Amino acid sequence: MKLLMENWKKFMGEQEAPEVAQAAPQQWIPITNQTSFKELDQASALNVVKQLMSGDDNVPVLQAQGKWSPGGEAAKAWVTKIGPENVAKRILAIGAKIPEQGLPKSKMPFLPGPKDAQGEVGDVEDALTPGGKYNVDMMERTDPPAPNAIGHVGSDPNAAAFMQGGLKDGDPDDDVLQIKMGGSFPAASGIPTQTNILLPKALGMAINGVAGGDIGAYASLNNQILDGHHRWAATMLNDPNADIGTFAQIDLDKLGIMPTLQYLTAIGNALGNKTKTK
């Protein structure tokens, strides 16, 4: 932290002394709407903070935010409130948590709960536990459909067959994954499973006030994040100690992380939620 503060002060002073330097254009690092936290090192994190502190609507990080952009003055006020060193430190902390290997957003679950999703959170619980209307055939390791390969369970017979496979496999009680409805944990305890958590989007959410509470996410029983990565990252930027509330927490250990995520992705598809690509 001390080194980060020293480098921030040095970085802020680089172009402030000579009048010639004052006239030189700012050297902003390029940021696109696909720039991930994991791409940033200490120098680039400090550069992003300085862009936000400029108050300029046209700096790369704000231009990359698109609809998430709060504008230059709001961004400057937010950094001032949080503290420039804290913002840089938290950017780096998020990047350090992102796994080297995982699933891109295009293969991550899009499950019921958010306003733009179809179905009910209870449908996910039903799909993972015996009885009821749904139960996915997991213990026999029936391969889940590829992302976006099936439509809504109400109109696609393949989706219906997938969602009800566990009820018709000869052992209607064996296909069960523990799921805990609700739940919460501190943002700093969250473990991302998605590889591409986008800096501009999460920054925009953070500046616009996403800071814990019921952020509408799914997680594992061990606080691994399954959905809601950008809302988690925004909370990390605002207050790493803030609790984030989840729709549900699901056991990832019984089948393993990747197989479980593949089943959850297919469940989301079958409930009418095509996997998001961005």
**Are 130 and 30 within one domain?**
no
* Residue 266 lies in domain: 100-278
Residues 132 and 55 in one domain: no
The answer to whether 46 touches 5, Cβ cutoff 8 Å, is: no
Amino acid at 17: A
Task: Summarize the confidence of residues 140-146 as an average pLDDT.
Answer: 84
Rounded distance between C-alpha atoms, residue 267 and residue 276, angstroms:
14
Assign 277 to helix, strand or coil.
coil
Distance between CA atoms of residues 45 and 51, nearest Å? 10
Terminal Cα distance for the chain, rounded: 33
pLDDT at 166: 94
What's the whole-number mean pLDDT along residues 167-175? 91
Share of the chain above pLDDT 70, in %: 90
What are the CA-CA distances from residue 271 to residues 168, 176, 188 (Å)?
19, 19, 31
Same domain, 227 and 112: yes
pLDDT at 236: 97
Residues 22 and 141 grouped into a single domain: no
Tell whether 93 and 166 lie within a shared domain. Answer: no
- Quick one: DSSP state of residue 146? P
Distance between CA atoms of 79 and 70, rounded to whole angstroms?
12
Do 149 and 18 share a domain, yes or no? no
35-54 pLDDT per residue, tens? 999 999 999 999 999 999 99
Residues 203 and 114 in one domain: yes
Among candidates 182, 175, 173, 171, which has minimal Cα distance to 127?
A: 175
pLDDT-based confidence at residue 187 (cuts at 50, 70, 90):
very high
Whether residue 12 is predicted with pLDDT greater than 80 in this model: the reply is no
Query: Rounded mean pLDDT of 249-275?
Result: 93
CA 8 to chain centre: 27
Q: What does the block give as tokens for 149?
A: 């390969």
Q: Give the pLDDT band of residue 202 (cuts 50, 70, 90).
A: very high
Count how many domains the chain has: 2
The per-residue pLDDT for 17 is 36
* CA-only gyration radius of the chain, Å: 22
Cβ distance 165 to 227 under 8 Å?
Answer: no
In the prediction, which pLDDT does 39 show? 95
CA separation for the pair 79, 203 (Å, rounded): 10
**What would the pLDDT profile of 77-123 be if each residue is shown by its tens digit?**
999 999 999 999 999 999 999 998 776 777 788 899 888 889 999 99
pLDDT in tens, 1-10: 556 655 655 5
Q: Are residue 125 and residue 59 in the same domain, yes or no?
A: no
β pairing state of 191-192 and 213-220: unpaired
Evaluate if residue 196 carries a pLDDT over 50.
yes
Residue 106 and residue 68 in contact, taking contact as beta carbons nearer than 8 Å: no
Once rounded to an integer, what is the mean pLDDT over residues 261-275? Answer: 93
Of 42, 62, 97, the one marking the end of a domain is: 97
Q: Worst-scoring range by mean pLDDT, 19-28, 140-149, 182-191, 199-208?
A: 19-28
Residues 161 and 82 in one domain: no
Task: Quote the DSSP letter at residue 246.
Answer: E
More confident residue, 250 or 114: 250
pLDDT at 22 over 50: no
Residues 179 and 245 in one domain: yes
pLDDT value of residue 115: 84
Pairwise CA distance, residues 89 & 170, whole Å: 54
- Tokens matching residue 47: 């550069």
Same domain flag for 177 and 217: yes
